[in-house]
Amino acid sequence: MRTPILPSLLLLVAPANSLPQLAPPVAPPENPITAEKVMLGKILFWDEQLSATKTVACGTCHMPSAGFADPRVKLQPAAYPGADRIAGTEDDVFGSPSLPSVGTDYLYNTHVVFGIGVQSTRRNSPTVLNAAYAPHLFLDGRAEGAFHDPATGALISASGAALETQSIEPLLSHMEMSESGRTINDLTLSMRVMVPLIDAEAIPQDMSQFIGTGRYPALFERTFGTDDVTGVRIAQALATYMRTLVVTDVPFDRFLAGDSTALTSLERQGHDLFHGAAGCSACHSGPLLTDFDFHNIGVDPLIDDTGREQTTNDLADWGKWKTPGLRAVELTGPYFHDGSIATLEGVVDFYNQGGVHAAPNLAAEIVPLGLSTAEKAALVAFLKRPLTDPRLVQEVAPFDRPRLFAESSRAPLTFGQATAGTGGIEPEMVLVEGARRSFTITIGVDRGLGGAPAGLLSSTSFHPASVPFQGAALYVPYGAGTRLDRTVLQGSGTGKGFASIRYDMSHFAGAVVGTRLYFQWLVYDPTSQGRLSASKPALALLY
């Protein structure tokens, strides 16, 4: 037997400070970590086909380069306007765009905030890095350690399986990935015929090797011994992949291990403030920099989302949110459950002024701190390099991934100008799905005149400069060679009309891959300038 190396390792752990070092995450006994499960989980995490529109994967909102939070959020205005439904106000949430509200018939339902367009999550996407360590997940902690079979309700794991519990929810949420009313059995049935990652590009080699020529049942067989695709197995594979998404070797860890050169003097000063005068470690404690508990720190006016209270129904939990771990926090902005603060400098200012909203249960530590400019800079420095794993930014293994359909040139886009209807409101083209020849996709129009007749023009040719037609700027030629799908808008009133149709892409079966397809909605609108209003045209590549 070999001499255990533990004693010499322990010697290395000279106490630079009192924090213990981070051990690898523990999996529940019912779901041991295997290489196959990691690989299957990774494939599932990145497969957009698991969403009703085939355009949203887990990874869409959890991207490595953004520290497994959502990079898109930084580039656009708040996607969810909050309870007041007015953009640009205090209760806005920088949520993640997902998919339109898809009905059981795959037509799009209208939503009071999003219309038939792409919806947004009502919370800012948090990181999934180191989620493997959390006893409860989601920002209100509603995913607990006991995991039940989503199909039968049978108890699968009694504890330690918050990741398994959590991973089912987005798959069945019509705000995130599913059509309304989808059950886990609907999903698993549809997955039996899927070619994994069919629409992804630049698939890492180990993933494409594992897929080979198999469909999902073959991959489940290799992973679990039989080819059943079940909700439990999906959750277990996703959870296992996420147990590998850990940041455990950053300068802060080397510092904890006793390497006093691991931090620069500024970072060290920030570390000492964090664990000292600034009082951060009252909540951001231990090697993960979280107590996994819930606190009201005065982030928002709380007229909409009340956090932990939504799970416990205990008024004492009003406005409390889970303390996030801070590893890789440099990459995961914007910050807080509503994404209301864009930068770490802003977060430190927030704490320095003692929060922004008073509350009866505001945490006692949230008071003005009186930090100097230099001290604030030191705190920010500690939150950046010492906690960041550079492999994330570069998206290299284990943080590598395929390129998603939604990031590809095959994702449809709109261009040109719309022609406004009554009230100056422009009808909106809603086209998110890919133009794969074998698909039937949904194409919608929003914000037209309620009750008005409308038509979708589709063609392989278009007028680059648009031509006037009955008062509308027409990009897709009207007449021979163009298909016209007629419908009548639902809803009533100016700008309140919407419709969607199912469009069978086999219409273009004769065209070669890469053919450009053009779509444009015309809405009859007799009181507008001409007789027609029109959406912007959309372009999709046939594949």
Please tell me the distance from the alpha carbon of residue 352 to that of residue 376, in angstroms, as a whole number.
Answer: 8
**Closest approach of ligand HEC to the CB of residue 274, in Å:** 6
DSSP state for residue 226 in the 8-state scheme: S
- Identify which of 470, 477, 476, 488 has the alpha carbon closest to the alpha carbon of residue 528: 470
**Closest approach of ligand HEC to the CB of residue 323, in Å:** 4
Nearer to ligand HEC, 107 or 175 (CB): 175
**Closest approach of ligand HEC to the CB of residue 260, in Å:** 22
What distances in angstroms separate CA 516 from CA 109, 511, 519, 535, 538, one per listed residue?
28, 9, 10, 18, 10
Nearer to ligand HEC, 387 or 505 (CB): 387
Q: Do you know the residue count of the chain?
A: 543
Task: Determine if residue 479 is left, alpha or beta; phi over 0 gives left, psi from -120 to 50 gives alpha, anything else beta.
Answer: left
What distances in angstroms separate CA 133 from CA 158, 176, 247, 314, 353, one per listed residue?
16, 24, 11, 25, 31
What distances in angstroms separate CA 454 from CA 203, 323, 498, 522, one per listed residue?
41, 50, 10, 6
128, 338 Cβ separation under 8 angstroms: no
Nearer to ligand HEC, 21 or 285 (CB): 285
For 103, the enclosing helix (H) or strand (E) is none
**Closest approach of ligand HEC to the CB of residue 499, in Å:** 25
Beta bridge partners of 120: 97
What is the 3-class SS of 255-297, one letter each residue?
A: HHCCCCCCCCHHHHHHHHHHCCCCCHHHCCCCCCCCCCCEEEC
**Closest approach of ligand HEC to the CB of residue 47, in Å:** 9
Strands 294-295 and 321-322: antiparallel
Nearer to ligand HEC, 45 or 519 (CB): 45
DSSP state for residue 233 in the 8-state scheme: H
Nearer to ligand HEC, 307 or 412 (CB): 307
Residues at the contact surface with ligand HEC, assessed by CB under 6 A: 45, 56, 58, 60-62, 96, 98, 121, 123, 125-126, 128, 131, 134, 137-140, 166-167, 170-171, 176-177, 238, 242, 278-280, 282-284, 295, 297, 299, 321, 323-324, 326, 329, 332, 335-337, 344, 347-348, 351, 363, 365-366, 379, 383
**Closest approach of ligand HEC to the CB of residue 3, in Å:** 39
**Closest approach of ligand HEC to the CB of residue 72, in Å:** 10
Amino acid letter for position 417: Q
**Closest approach of ligand HEC to the CB of residue 194, in Å:** 15
Nearer to ligand HEC, 62 or 536 (CB): 62
Nearer to ligand HEC, 406 or 534 (CB): 406
DSSP 413-453: EE-S--B--GGGPPPEEE--S---TT-EEEEEEEEE-TT-E
Nearer to ligand HEC, 245 or 476 (CB): 245
**Closest approach of ligand HEC to the CB of residue 123, in Å:** 4
Beta bridge partners of 480: none
Beta bridge partners of 523: 454, 533
**Closest approach of ligand HEC to the CB of residue 496, in Å:** 26
Strands 538-541 and 532-534: unpaired
For 358, the enclosing helix (H) or strand (E) is none
Nearer to ligand HEC, 58 or 457 (CB): 58
Q: How far apart are the first and last CA of the chain?
A: 59
Nearer to ligand HEC, 268 or 337 (CB): 337
Nearer to ligand HEC, 50 or 517 (CB): 50
**Closest approach of ligand HEC to the CB of residue 131, in Å:** 4
Strands 497-504 and 440-448: antiparallel
